[in-house]
Chain A
Amino acid sequence: MWTGDKMITNPNAYDLIVAILNAIGVYNIILGFFQDLGMEYILRVIIVLVIIAVLLVFVLLTVMFLSWLERKMFAVVQSRYGPMVTGPRGLFQPIADGIKLLGKEDIIPAKADRWIFTLAPFVVFVSVLLVFIPLPFGRSLIVSDLKVGLLYIIAISAVTPISILLAGWASNNKYSLMGAIRAVAQDISYTIPLAITAIAVVVFVGSLSTVDIVNAQSGYWFGFIPKWFIFLQPLGFILFLIACIAEMGRIPFDFQESEQELVAGFFTEYSGMKFAMFFLAEYAHLFAVSGIIVTIFLGGWTGPALPFIPFELTSLIYFMIKTYAVIFFAMWLRDTVPRVRIDQLLNLGWKIMIPLALLNLLLAAFVVTAGVI
């Protein structure tokens, strides 16, 4: 089953770095140096650490940019200017916010469960960051091409509700608990259609690896329609998009923190660095989920190759353009749509989304078994 190693592995970031070093002509020198020391694995560890550092910096920068973008967009929609003071058009506002939050006092409520109260934000943050591991930012630009990448992503996303629940419970505050329970009810309801629609795509591809999924979407039908799964599975795409937005807890499904009802939901009691972690996690989640949507339905990094530019770079650009389009859609949604009611949310999830997702899966299975595609 999944015990043996895959025969041909898709190239990942590690291979890319090795290739670059080879191209410059220094790889063998460095390798020789560590081989002399007899500690070849240290080179591997270093390269991996470099990859992680690059990923972390990239994600954090994107997240900061996203928080600025969100505020700016919200302002534009409401005919305001938004942040304008720090940096050009307020571009450095997130950095200023970050510094402010770091300087704040880290308050832990007296009756809170200290241990869990501290643990929860870290779990949220880490679990969101872990999602990026099998996410292909471009050709070869992937930390690790897991054989079960899609399952991994769904599994890791499933850990987030626990930390939210813990955060809400540990605060010892009824609004927090209420927000947490809502968040979890919502997450559980929407993970199911999410997973089922993802499976429908897997039925077409025949592999859980994200790179395989993207590769399956390269090429064109009739010479001009890209082979993206959005065209093959429009219903699946819509369901996946809705489920993702609900999963992220963004308007119109932001029950975990609905300010008018629950102050700030599960992170009402958080301040300082811990609050910053929730905040960062939220935008990182937005980025990750948009990336997943792009990977699964919008062809990932596929696109026409440009001359003279290495495809690794163009593919990254294609990926980012598509991802920002999805992010833009989510933000636009937040700016324009009101929140639904919690019972409507759950009805939608259980009574409409899941049956439709199953129908979609059935159609996909039928199409594949019938050999239409």
Chain B
Amino acid sequence: MTDLFSYLIISAVIFTIGAYGIITQRSGIKILMSIELMLNSANLNLVAFSSFNGNASGQVFALFSIAIAAAEAAIGFAILVALFRARDTINLDNINILRW
């Protein structure tokens, strides 16, 4: 049986990849995908802890987090589509209308 530590390592790696993606990517879709990755790694953490500590509440949290991720994705992508319609681009460098 693998130990908790290896799961945490995997989770950390995925999280880092996601964070890297958010910082480096320009496409809004890619950034949202990276966010999904990060959320996913958090879920992995939650479930791993819950499984190794014999406590189910981590799984409940993971379920909540999944639901929130779905809602967040729906809103995020809806915003992207709306932005695309308005400005004809999803490159976030060009979408800085909220800047001073």
Contacts and interface: CB of A to CB of B under 8 A. Distances in A.
A binds B: yes
Contacts of B56: 1-3
A1 B60 contact: yes
B53 to A, nearest CB: 10
B60 A3 contact: no
Interface of B: 50-51, 54, 56, 59-60
Interface in A1-50: 1-3
A1 B50 CA distance: 10
Contacts of B54: 3
Contacts of B59: 1-3
A194 to B, nearest CB: 17
Given A2-B56, A3-B54, 6 more contacts: A1-B59, A1-B60, A2-B59, A3-B50, A3-B51, A3-B56
Contacts of A1: 56, 59-60
Nearest to B63: A1
Nearest to B47: A3
Interface of A: 1-3
B44 to A, nearest CB: 16
Contacts of B51: 3
B47 to A, nearest CB: 10
10 contacts: A1-B56, A1-B59, A1-B60, A2-B56, A2-B59, A3-B50, A3-B51, A3-B54, A3-B56, A3-B59
Contacts of A3: 50-51, 54, 56, 59
Contacts of B50: 3
A228 to B, nearest CB: 31
A1 B59 CA distance: 8
A2 B57 CA distance: 11
Nearest to B55: A3
* Leading 9 A-B pairs by shortest Cβ distance: A1-B56, A1-B59, A3-B56, A3-B51, A2-B59, A3-B54, A1-B60, A3-B59, A3-B50
A339 B60 CA distance: 43
A2 B47 CA distance: 12
A92 to B, nearest CB: 47
A47 to B, nearest CB: 24
B94 to A, nearest CB: 24
Contacts of A2: 56, 59
A154 to B, nearest CB: 14
A361 B51 CA distance: 31
B73 to A, nearest CB: 13
B45 to A, nearest CB: 16
A289 B59 CA distance: 30
B28 to A, nearest CB: 19
Contacts of B60: 1
Nearest to B51: A3
Nearest to B50: A3
A199 to B, nearest CB: 15
B99 to A, nearest CB: 34
A1 B46 CA distance: 14
B77 to A, nearest CB: 13
A2 B60 CA distance: 10
Nearest to A2: B59
A3 B54 CA distance: 8
A5 to B, nearest CB: 13
B4 to A, nearest CB: 15
A134 to B, nearest CB: 20
A244 B50 CA distance: 36
A2 B50 CA distance: 11
A120 B59 CA distance: 32
A1 B62 CA distance: 13
B55 to A, nearest CB: 9
Nearest to B54: A3
B46 to A, nearest CB: 13
A225 B56 CA distance: 40
Nearest to A1: B56
A3 B48 CA distance: 11
A202 B68 CA distance: 24
A351 B60 CA distance: 31
B59 to A, nearest CB: 6
A26 B45 CA distance: 47
A285 to B, nearest CB: 25
A154 B54 CA distance: 28
A3 B55 CA distance: 9
A1 B56 CA distance: 6
